[in-house]
Amino acid sequence: MSQYKVVNPATNEVEREFAEATDAEVQQILERSHRAFRSWRTTGKDERAKVLLRVAELYKERIDELAALITREMGKPTREAKGEIMLVVTIYKYYAENGADLLADTPLSPRAGGKAVIRKEPIGPLLGIMPWNFPYYQVARLAAPNLMAGNTIILKHAPQDPESALAIEQIFHDAGLAEDAYINIFATNDQVADMIADPRVAAVSVTGSERAGKAVAEIAGRNLKKAVLELGGSDPFIVLDSDDISKTVQGAVAGRMGNAGQACTAAKRMIVVGDLYDEFVDQFTAAMSSLKPGDPTDAASDLGPLSSELAAQRLMEQIDDAVNKGATVRTGGKRLDRPGAFVEPTVLTDVTPDMRAYHEELFGPAAVVYKVADVSEAVELANSSSFGLGGAVYSADPDRAAEVAALLDTGMVWINSPTGSMADLPFGGTKRSGFGRELGASGIDEFVNKKLVYTPAAR
């Protein structure tokens, strides 16, 4: 039985199934991508940019049908699905409009004289392993900069996103991308391992769980392949002070509940300094309680189901563990009495280190709120996590917030705003959240050969 199937999480019904690739098909795809690279790398940057601009246009033109696919596949409310697609449009446009400059030669000034430049050249076919939570956006972060750079892409999407995976491939085809420069594959985990090891694959990028990242990194390292890993997160949302607690709470809810809380950079740990704690908890709890889960195609629904029944079960195991060990449920904490993978918006307090919720990533509509005495304790608690993806610091004094941001062991910090994503800003983490960067200038630099070309001074 194939693992690639559409299981609507709003109903838990299987709606469509797709065949997995055979081993022979895997070999054919590897060879096709390798051949395509030899020609795509020589295609002019202006031509590559035209293709990416057309890709952006097609995403915008097809926004309704594309949004409907991921709403059915992983439960994202239609409004949020369209927001994801518009972010994708900005990513392809950004690299189309700026890619040539980002790839330009960098002149050096050798002390010995002569001329030297660093030339950025593509390295070959890349294997992308993508998750289900942002089906179009995650692919764009890999595909846009690397197709612009002249690499080719083999994309293994999440098993629950087969229709959107094929829709992405069709957009590239319709945009006029060179044949086989982007190929979708419905591969098994064993086939993925063989692909990483294959000499025709130059490097690998994975967005997903810590477990998946470890497996990919081990195979890539053994075969001397570069990897970019964007893994889990347990982002702190630090409230130092506030001259508008309602606005701060609004940011906390937005940061926690986007995509039903299923985002690596979601604000999962609310850390509140001093006397603000009680007021913050009261308002945050009220705001979370007011959210309306429901049919993700209904505009009246504030959030949809989790991505799958298994995801809902895992989150409930974490919540139940915390409650059984003494945590306080301020709101939620239960499954909704309706079909589908729904969990109530949940707020937990009094969470202690012996609970799973203290150490693990909560991937769903559940937040933990901590009270700390001062800034030092806030930073210590924030940095106690094994993850280091993003974070947010709120204060009426942005300079004070920036000073605290400098002390956080994370790849990204946003001031007076939930952690987000923009095409021209680098995205990535540290510690067990992975390594490497996507988006911005950093994203196009990850999988290029920075070749030195040196001409000595005449003698």
Q: Is 159 within the bounds of a domain?
A: yes
What positions carry a catalytic annotation?
A: 230, 264
- Same domain (yes/no): 109, 209: yes
The per-residue pLDDT for 1 is 78
- Same domain (yes/no): 400, 290: yes
Domain that holds residue 213: 5-231+433-455
Q: Is 427 within the bounds of a domain?
A: no
- Calpha distance 312→166 (Å, rounded): 26
Q: Token pair 């974070």 is at which residue?
A: 391
Q: Which is nearest to 322 in space by CA: 290, 357, 359, 285?
A: 357
- Same domain (yes/no): 252, 392: yes
Query: Would you call 85 exposed, middle or buried from its count of C-beta atoms within 10 A (0-12, 13-18, 19+)?
Result: buried
Contacts of 350 (CB under 8 A, 6+ apart): 326, 327, 328
- Same domain (yes/no): 194, 285: no
Q: Is 428 within the bounds of a domain?
A: no
- Same domain (yes/no): 447, 395: no
- Same domain (yes/no): 42, 68: yes
- Same domain (yes/no): 205, 250: no
Could you tell me the mean pLDDT of each successive run of 10 residues in the chain, 459 residues long?
A: 94 96 98 98 98 98 98 96 98 98 97 96 98 97 98 98 98 98 98 98 96 96 97 97 96 97 97 96 98 95 96 98 98 95 98 98 98 98 98 98 98 97 98 98 98 93
What would the 3-class secondary structure string for the chain be?
CCCCEEEECCCCEEEEECCCCCHHHHHHHHHHHHHHHHHHCCCCHHHHHHHHHHHHHHHHHCHHHHHHHHHHHHCCCHHHHHHHHHHHHHHHHHHHHHHHHHCCCEEECCCCCCEEEEEEEECCEEEEECCCCCCCHHHHHHHHHHHHHCCEEEEECCCCCHHHHHHHHHHHHHCCCCCCCEEECCCCHHHHHHHHHCCCCCEEEEECCHHHHHHHHHHHHHCCCEEEEECCCCEEEEECCCCCHHHHHHHHHHHHHHHHHCCCCCEEEEEEEHHHHHHHHHHHHHHHHHCCECCCCCCCCCECCCCCHHHHHHHHHHHHHHHHCCCEEEECCCECCCCCCCECCEEEECCCCCCHHHHCCCCCCEEEEEEECCHHHHHHHHHCCCEECCCEEECCCHHHHHHHHCCCCCCCCEECCCCCCCCCCCECCEECCEECCECHHHHHHCCEEEEEEEECCCC
Look at the chain and report how many structural domains it folds into: 2
Q: Is 405 within the bounds of a domain?
A: yes
The per-residue pLDDT for 47 is 98
- Same domain (yes/no): 333, 444: no
- Same domain (yes/no): 150, 50: yes
**pTM of the entire predicted model:** 0.97
- Same domain (yes/no): 179, 240: no
- Calpha distance 139→66 (Å, rounded): 14
- Same domain (yes/no): 218, 347: no
The per-residue pLDDT for 350 is 98
Instruction: Assign residue 176 the CATH number of its domain.
Output: 3.40.605.10
- Output the six-digit token pair for 397: 């004094």
The per-residue pLDDT for 458 is 84
Strands 434-435 and 430-431: unpaired
Q: List, in sequence order, every residue forming a beta bridge with 431; answer none if it has no partner.
A: 387
Instruction: Assign residue 297 the CATH number of its domain.
Output: 3.40.309.10
The per-residue pLDDT for 8 is 96
- Same domain (yes/no): 351, 389: yes
